[in-house]
């Protein structure tokens, strides 16, 4: 079958190759890939800066944002041939002391010995077909054909949003009004969508000009968009601060700006991955004092459990009912597998690029 392969650590090594067909083990399902989204992590893998091939393989099949169709499924597993599914990404480490992995939460793995399909030690989904255990496949309604590829990034944001809400409600009778999302990429847009579904007053802050498709997508949700050339983050937060911030850029200035933009008893979810190695001078005392005296909550979040995938599916269905066509519009470019280079290349007007494997 056809697959995209990369040599981790080698920039520009992505190829469309012919590899062995998958051979499902007893109890596994066989899936046909429909499309696979490309995100910042994929860009890093394709640029040679990240990723690890499975043991014994010189190359990695990348791709972790996948929409697929069931070709064959074991009797009684709850999946039927023809059904749409989204596979999860992370697999448990199997280390005896890792209680999150033992309890179906590899997204919270504490040994950090997990594998991630398409990223870390396991092949991903940029290929025509793959085999998987049914417990890692989340069934989707047929109506998800145009936007089901957004399940994985939505699951990552859902995990962070649900966790923030749970922890805040455990701390106080929380009634957030204002939310701020830094970053208007797909993750930021999906965060804005989930916060709008909770009826918050949402502002999204990024570098793009106000007429950029991403800014237009923000406004279509009934949220506000502020271009960083027009206002500092502190101005956007105002003197009262913001109840709920979701940081989706990993840009150090925004991360530390967000730490100082929280309202009393506010929560900041950190979702953006930073490039390593650059220092920043910060007002450490003022940041600490502000967080302590205002009961600030800050936490990082990565990946998603199967439960978060299921919740993401519910939110996508509600979002599609609220803003028909908005989700499909986020997948702004679809390319065939042979066009790996342009899939990697990006473009100023793009929101999300996906590689299309089958109809
Ligand atoms: C993926 C996550 C993954 C993380 C770290 C992100 O791009 O969406 O599923 O856990 O990268 O590898």
Residue 58, Cβ density class (10 Å: 0-12 exposed, 13-18 middle, ≥19 buried): exposed
pLDDT, tens only, 213-265: 999 999 999 999 999 999 999 999 999 999 999 999 999 999 999 999 999 99
Stretch 99-125: mean pLDDT: 98
Q: Which two tokens stand for residue 174?
A: 């929380």
Q: Kindly give the distance from the C-alpha atom of residue 302 to the centroid of ligand 1, in angstroms, as a whole number.
A: 6
Q: Are residues 161 and 134 in the same domain?
A: no
Burial-class residue 343 by CB neighbours within 10 Å (0-12, 13-18, 19+). buried
Residues constituting the chain: 359
**C-alpha of residue 293 to centroid of ligand 1, in Å:** 33
pLDDT of residue 214: 97
> What is the model's pLDDT at position 118?
98
> How many CB atoms within 10 Å of residue 261?
25
Is pLDDT of 291 > 90?
Answer: yes
Task: List pocket residues of ligand 1, CB cut-off 6 Å.
Answer: 39, 41, 64, 89-90, 116, 119, 152, 156, 302-303
Residue 164 and residue 111 share a domain: no
Q: Show Cβ contacts of residue 31 under 8 Å, excluding neighbours closer than 6 positions.
A: 68, 69, 70, 71, 85, 87, 129, 130, 131, 132, 137
- Reply yes or no on whether the pLDDT at 295 is more than 70: yes
- Measured in degrees and rounded to the nearest 5, phi and psi for residue 135 equal -65, -15
pLDDT value for 345: 66
| Averaged pLDDT, 146-164 | 98
Ligand 1 atom 3: the closest Cα is on which residue? 303
What is the pLDDT averaged over residues 25-31?
A: 98
3-state secondary structure of 108: helix
Please indicate, yes or no, whether residues 109 and 160 belong to a single structural domain of this protein.
no
CA 299 to ligand 1 center in whole angstroms: 16
pLDDT given for residue 208 in this prediction: 95
Å from CA of 66 to ligand 1 middle:
13
Strands 129-132 and 29-38: antiparallel
pLDDT at position 348 is 67
CA-proximal residue: ligand 1, atom 7 (nearest): 41
Is the pLDDT confidence value at 275 over 90? no
Phi, psi dihedral angles at 125 (to 5 degrees): -115, 5
132 with 237, same domain? no
Total count of domains within the chain = 2
Verify that 142 and 159 share a domain, yes or no: no
In a domain, 305, yes or no: no
The enclosing domain of 7 has a CATH number of 3.90.180.10
Query: Token digits for 32?
Result: 């046909």
Which mutation among 52, 62, 119, 125 tests ligand 1's pocket best, with the greatest number of atoms within 8 A of CB? 119
Ligand 1 pocket, mutate which of 39, 46, 64, 309 (most atoms under 8 A from CB): 64
**What's the pLDDT tens digit per position in 74-89?**
999 999 999 999 999 9
Asked if 117 contacts 87 with a C-beta cutoff of 8 angstroms, the reply is yes
User: In this predicted structure, what is the pLDDT of residue 206?
Assistant: 98
Q: For 119-129, what is the mean pLDDT?
A: 98
Same domain flag for 128 and 221: no
Cα–Cα distance for residue pair 99/217, rounded to 1 Å:
40
Report how far residue 149's alpha carbon sits from residue 163's, in angstroms, rounded to the nearest whole number. Answer: 23
From atom 12 of ligand 1, which residue's Cα is the shortest distance away? 119
Is pTM beyond 0.85? Reply is: yes
- Which of 43, 89, 186 to mutate for ligand 1's pocket (most ligand atoms within 8 Å of CB)? 89
- Domain of 285: which CATH number? 3.40.50.720
Q: What is the mean pLDDT of residues 197-215?
A: 97
| Structural domain boundaries enclosing 6 | 2-37+58-147+331-356
Average confidence score pLDDT of the chain = 96
In the chain the first and final C-alpha atoms are separated, in Å, by 16
Looking at the structure, do residues 89 and 122 belong to the same domain, yes or no? Answer: yes
Separation in Å, CA 307 to CA 88, 105, 123, 158, 224: 10, 9, 23, 10, 30
240 Cα: distance to centroid of ligand 1 (angstroms) = 33
Q: What is the pLDDT of residue 359?
A: 73
Q: Answer whether residue 349 shows pLDDT above 90.
A: no
User: What is the pLDDT averaged over residues 138-144?
Assistant: 97
Counting atoms of ligand 1 from 1, which one is nearest the CA of 153?
8
> What value, to the nearest 5°, has the Cα angle with vertex 115 and ends 112 and 120?
100
């Amino acid at each position: 079958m056809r697959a995209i392969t990369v040599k981790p650590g080698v920039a520009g090594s992505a190829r469309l190759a012919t590899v062995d067909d998958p051979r499902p083990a007893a109890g596994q399902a066989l899936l046909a890939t429909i499309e696979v989204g490309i995100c910042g992590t994929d860009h890093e893998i394709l640029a040679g800066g990240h990723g690890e091939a499975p043991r014994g393989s010189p190359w990695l099949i990348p791709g972790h944002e996948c929409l697929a169709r069931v070709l064959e499924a074991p009797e009684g597993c709850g999946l039927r041939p023809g059904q749409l599914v989204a596979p999860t990404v992370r697999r448990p480490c199997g280390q005896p002391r890792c209680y999150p992995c033992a309890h179906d939460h590899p997204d919270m793995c504490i040994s950090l010995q997990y594998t991630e399909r398409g990223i870390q030690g396991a092949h991903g989904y940029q290929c025509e077909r793959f085999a998987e255990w049914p417990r890692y496949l989340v069934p989707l309604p047929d109506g998800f054909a145009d936007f089901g590829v957004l399940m994985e990034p939505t699951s990552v944001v859902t995990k962070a949003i649900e966790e923030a809400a749970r922890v805040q409600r455990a701390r106080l009778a929380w009634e957030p009004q204002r939310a701020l999302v830094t970053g208007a990429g797909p993750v930021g847009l999906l965060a804005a969508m989930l916060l709008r579904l909770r009826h918050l007053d949402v502002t999204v802050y990024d570098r793009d000009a106000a007429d950029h498709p991403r800014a237009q997508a923000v406004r279509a949700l009934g949220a506000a968009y502020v271009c960083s050339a027009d206002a500092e983050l502190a101005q956007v937060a105002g003197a009262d601060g913001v109840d709920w911030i979701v940081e989706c850029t990993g840009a150090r200035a925004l991360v530390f700006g967000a730490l100082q933009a929280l309202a009393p008893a506010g929560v900041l979810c950190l979702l953006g991955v930073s490039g390593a190695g650059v220092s920043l001078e910060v007002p450490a005392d003022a940041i600490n004092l502000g967080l302590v005296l205002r009961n600030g909550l800050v936490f990082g979040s990565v990946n998603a459990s199967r439960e978060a995938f299921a919740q993401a599916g519910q939110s996508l269905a509600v979002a599609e009912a609220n803003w028909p066509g908005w989700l499909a519009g986020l997948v702004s470019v679809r390319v065939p597998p042979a066009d790996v280079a342009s899939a990697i290349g990006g473009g100023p007007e793009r929101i999300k690029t996906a590689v299309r494997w089958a109809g």
